[in-house]
Amino acid sequence: MIRRALCLLLLPFALVSCGGNSDRVIVAAGTTVVDSGFIDALAARFEAEHPDVELSILPNPTRLIFELGRQRSADLLITHAAAQEETFIAEGRSFRSEVVFESRFVLVGPPQLRDRFRTYEIPEVFRAIATEGLPFVSRGDGSGTHEAEMEAWLESGLDPSGQPWYAVTGSGMGPTLQVADQREASTLAEIGSFIAAAETLGLVDLEAEPEGLENPYTATVVAGADGEAGAIEFLVWLTSDAGQKAIGEINEELFGQVVYHPPEVG
């Protein structure tokens, strides 16, 4: 079950809390790790070991997460968009920022495309989609997934904007997967959120070449945020032996396989 901050009201870029608990930490997290159930399971493990800290998970695309950070309406940001993360840090808004775990992106689509595109590199697949006008669905919401998709289109040398075969949902990973399924279209997805939804979809992993589909998640403590101390405590736990053990156990419980793993070193 997805955790929610019951006393929080989200306005365009403002967050108003009806509680006064200084140990509450607002964690703004990408919709991918919320849709997969992963971040909620991690939060529950952390709270069990740290009863003095209450984590409230606020799902949003990365672009909006950083706006919340700029307003200090969130204490800890969990994102997967390197360019936006670098900008936020360069603005001097981060107390501490660290990669805490990784997953990967997958290109998913109708089963009949898998034999054709298996082992293709993503730019090759995108060029074929554009040439043949095969339906493609984009999140188009400023998320880390959308950023990765745009980088792949750039590598392909193409701009899909405005093309009749290219649809934009402006929504999170879950709704975008549903639209792609309804349209028998392809889309770029984060593997954890895809696995979580796969049983309700007709889409499959097209098994494109995985190079370039790495997906590191960064935890950023917002400098001067009300819940800064608790946010630091959560970040430190995520990178500790206890946190990494919890990540491994949650992978097995939720997916039966390793989906989120410690960051690559070197």
| pLDDT per 10-residue tile (average), the chain, 266 residues | 38 38 84 91 95 94 93 95 91 92 94 90 93 95 90 94 96 93 96 92 90 88 94 95 92 92 69
Residues 85 and 114 in one domain: no
Residues 129 and 93 in one domain: no
Cα Rg of the chain (Å, integer): 18
Residues 86 and 124 in one domain: no
Residue 259 CB partners (closer than 8 Å, separation 6+): 36, 38, 103, 191, 192, 195, 251
pLDDT for 211 equals 77
Q: Is position 143 within any domain? A: yes
Residues 245 and 226 in one domain: yes
Q: Is position 64 within any domain? A: yes
190 and 145 in contact (C-beta within 8 Å)? yes
Q: Is position 149 within any domain? A: yes
Q: What is the CATH number of the domain that holds 184?
A: 3.40.190.10
77 and 97 in contact (C-beta within 8 Å)? no
pLDDT for 119 equals 83
Tokens of 188: 């770029």
**C-alpha angle with apex 148: 144 to 149, nearest 5 degrees?**
115
How many structural domains are present in the chain? 2
Residues 196 and 123 in one domain: yes
Residues 14 and 95 in one domain: yes
Q: Is position 127 within any domain? A: yes
pLDDT for 204 equals 96
pLDDT for 3 equals 44
Which of 168, 184, 205 finishes a domain? Answer: 205
Q: Domain of residue 49: give its range.
A: 8-103+216-255
Residues 160 and 173 in one domain: yes
Residues 197 and 162 in one domain: yes
Which H or E element spans position 166?
strand 166-168
DSSP assignment of 62-107 equals HHHHHHHHHTT--SEEEE--HHHHHHHHHTT-EEEEEEEEEEEEEE
Residues 74 and 115 in one domain: no
Q: Is position 78 within any domain? A: yes
pTM recorded for the entire structure: 0.82
Cα 92 to chain centroid, rounded? 23
Distance CA 24, CA 58 (A): 13
CB-based burial, 95-124: b 16+ in 10 Å, e otherwise:
bbbebbbbbbbbbbbbeebbeebeebbbbe
CB-based burial, 3-13: b 16+ in 10 Å, e otherwise:
bebeebeeeee
pLDDT digits (tens, 9 = 90+) for 81-124: 888 899 999 999 989 999 999 999 999 999 999 988 988 889 99
Q: Is position 263 within any domain? A: no
Residues 117 and 144 in one domain: yes
Residues 112 and 195 in one domain: yes
Q: Is position 14 within any domain? A: yes
Which of 167, 184, 205 finishes a domain? Answer: 205
Residues 20 and 143 in one domain: no
100 and 46 in contact (C-beta within 8 Å)? no
